[in-house]
């Protein structure tokens, strides 16, 4: 029988057709999308917006009020100096397994890999995994990758330490794992790594954000303590591509969308925040400008404050505004008595904060009080203005310090002001400061300076001018934003107010 010479060509063509019609997919780990039961695709029935509807035990993904991830915004974060108890790391080497968990690549430590300690509670390291892109944002910016180190206490409470990555130099820890990650693209879904030291994961900075949130994957369990490192690490494009190739198509971008903050507090912990550290910090983390400005040509300048917001209308229409020009010849001299001003301060923990219009020190605990005519006002914060806001006998000064006090019910405010001239600063020890006599002071009823220009503030301005160095003034100027480098409100009309000059006139 004669065979057709076309058959081999036809068979070959048919084979190519079948291969084209049913393309061969790369072999991945043997467990798949069905096992995790959710995905990250926008518009998918199993996407993040539907996680809380897929299973009853996942309802927190929909109904939880303190969910993760969130946008970590510096200007809304409360800055505080870290203590040993805030976050203490104590890791050690232990055997581990790398797993393709379907939604992410993870490393699980099988033995005791150490712990972190938060406020006296030990949270033991259980696993780490990566998300592409970053789940958390810092000041509205997303990064290429995010690593989560998951810890659990003996009472099953969870704490997560997170690190964000951008493209740059290779990450040493991922470099050590390269071959193992590559193996997960084959048939194996997990690989025994032997002993892995979690200390190889770099902690690049002592600054970190802290807030209460949740797991970022179903069941989205709440009550998770999050510590997100402030400094962004780097990894190479090749390392990022390898992680993308290993996970399933539906989880190549396995970052849950941002969740509402819902009034939660965010704390930014760090080492001691010197003014120089604040300057460097702000260079790395520019923030949005405030709602008002001090530059006269700006539409948000002091002469316009009262027009910017309805609640600021007193800045325009108030009749007892501050600051004012004080003339000693017009002041009523009064012999000081004990009831006029009693100072009773004491040491307390404090936080330095850039409030955009000024650098402030906020006391966290009880820093003592002043007493005026029998009413007690507790010290809350102090801040600086350059140049001085008040004038004395027609003269402006180089700096003005305001110590802000409030009554127990927060309804009344009293401010003590100090004026400074450029000279060598006088540094006092605590014992010297306690013995230093109180000089004369002026007294007037007025309004506070920045918006909303609250009414009824009791002002005491110390008559004795103190000294400050040029370097110290410049440092304060550099730390605040450009619009507040000269953050002194213009002089306001006296409008018939009485000024008293208290002192020892015997």
- Reference 464, options 497, 434, 449, 442; nearest CA is 442
Q: Are 5 and 221 in contact (CB under 8 A)?
A: no
Measured distance CA(443)–CA(438) in Å, rounded: 14
Q: Are 401 and 425 in contact (CB under 8 A)?
A: no
Exposed/middle/buried for 382, CB within 10 Å: 0-12, 13-18, 19+? buried
3-state secondary structure of 377: strand
Measured distance CA(234)–CA(169) in Å, rounded: 6
Catalytic residue among 103, 383, 390, 405: 103
- Reference 139, options 282, 351, 291; nearest CA is 282
Element (H, E) at 363: strand 359-363
Residue 388, token pair as written in the block: 């001085």
Measured distance CA(395)–CA(387) in Å, rounded: 11
CA dist 318 to 225, 307, 417, 454, Å? 46, 13, 21, 9
In this structure, the chain runs to a length of 506
Active site residue 129: no
The beta-strand segments (E) located in 168-243 are 190-196, 208-214, 222-229, 233-235
The residues with which 360 forms a beta bridge, in sequence order, are 353, 383
User: Phi, psi at residue 312, to the nearest 5°?
Assistant: -100, 10
DSSP annotation string for 398-454: SEEEEEEEE-TTS--EEEEEEEEEES------HHHHHHPPP--EEEEEE--SSTT--
Helix axes 275-284, 470-479, angle to 10 degrees: 30
CA dist 125 to 136, 146, 156, 191, Å? 21, 17, 12, 19
Measured distance CA(118)–CA(147) in Å, rounded: 19
Measured distance CA(146)–CA(133) in Å, rounded: 7
- Reference 200, options 254, 151, 128, 104; nearest CA is 128
Residues 6 or more apart from 494 whose CB is under 8 A from it? Answer: 324, 325
Residues annotated catalytic, as ranges:
103
């Amino acid at each position: 029988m004669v065979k057709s010479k076309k058959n081999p060509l036809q068979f070959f063509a048919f084979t190519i057709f079948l291969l084209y019609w049913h393309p061969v997919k790369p072999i991945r780990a043997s467990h798949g999308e069905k096992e995790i039961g959710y995905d990250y695709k926008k518009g998918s029935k199993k996407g993040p917006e539907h996680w809380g509807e897929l299973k009853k035990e996942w309802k927190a993904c929909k109904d939880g009020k303190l969910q993760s991830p969130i946008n970590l915004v510096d200007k809304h974060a409360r800055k505080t100096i870290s203590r040993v108890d805030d976050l203490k790391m104590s890791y050690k080497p232990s055997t581990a397994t790398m797993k393709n968990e379907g939604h992410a690549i993870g490393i699980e430590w099988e033995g005791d890999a150490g712990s972190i300690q938060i406020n006296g509670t030990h949270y033991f390291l259980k696993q780490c995994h990566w998300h592409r892109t970053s789940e958390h944002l810092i000041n509205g910016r997303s990064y290429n990758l995010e690593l989560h180190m998951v810890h659990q206490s003996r009472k099953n409470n969870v704490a997560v330490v997170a690190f964000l990555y951008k493209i740059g130099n290779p990450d040493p820890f991922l470099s050590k794992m390269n071959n193992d990650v590559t193996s997960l693209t084959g048939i194996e879904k997990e690989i025994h790594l032997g002993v892995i030291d979690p200390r190889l994961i770099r902690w690049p900075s002592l600054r970190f954000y802290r807030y209460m949130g949740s797991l970022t994957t179903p069941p989205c369990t709440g009550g998770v303590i999050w510590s997100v490192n402030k400094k962004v690490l780097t990894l190479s494009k090749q390392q990022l591509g390898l992680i993308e190739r290993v996970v399933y198509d539906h989880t190549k971008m396995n970052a849950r969308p941002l969740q509402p903050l819902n009034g939660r507090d965010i704390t930014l912990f760090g080492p001691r925040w010197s003014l120089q550290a604040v300057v460097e910090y702000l260079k790395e983390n520019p923030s949005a400008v405030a709602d008002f400005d001090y530059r006269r040509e700006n539409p948000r300048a002091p002469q316009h404050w009262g027009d910017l917001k309805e609640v600021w209308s007193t800045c325009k229409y108030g009749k007892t505004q501050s600051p004012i020009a004080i003339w000693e010849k017009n002041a009523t001299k009064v012999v000081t008595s004990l009831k006029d001003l009693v100072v009773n301060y004491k040491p307390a923990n404090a936080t330095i904060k850039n409030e955009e219009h000024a650098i402030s020190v906020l006391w966290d605990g009880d820093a003592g009080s002043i007493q005026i005519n029998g009413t007690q006002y507790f010290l809350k914060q102090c801040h600086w203005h350059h140049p001085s806001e008040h004038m004395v006998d027609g003269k402006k000064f180089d700096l003005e310090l305001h110590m802000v006090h409030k009554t127990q019910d927060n309804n009344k405010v009293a401010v003590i002001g100090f004026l400074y001239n450029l000279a060598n600063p006088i540094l006092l020890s605590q014992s010297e400061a306690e013995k230093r006599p109180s000089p004369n002071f002026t007294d007037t009823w007025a309004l506070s300076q920045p918006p909303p220009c609250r009414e009824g503030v009791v002002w005491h301005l110390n008559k004795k001018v103190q000294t400050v160095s040029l370097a110290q003034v410049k440092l304060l100027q550099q730390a605040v934003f450009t619009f507040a480098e000269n953050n002194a409100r213009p002089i306001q009309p006296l409008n018939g107010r009485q000024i008293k000059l208290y002192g020892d006139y015997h």
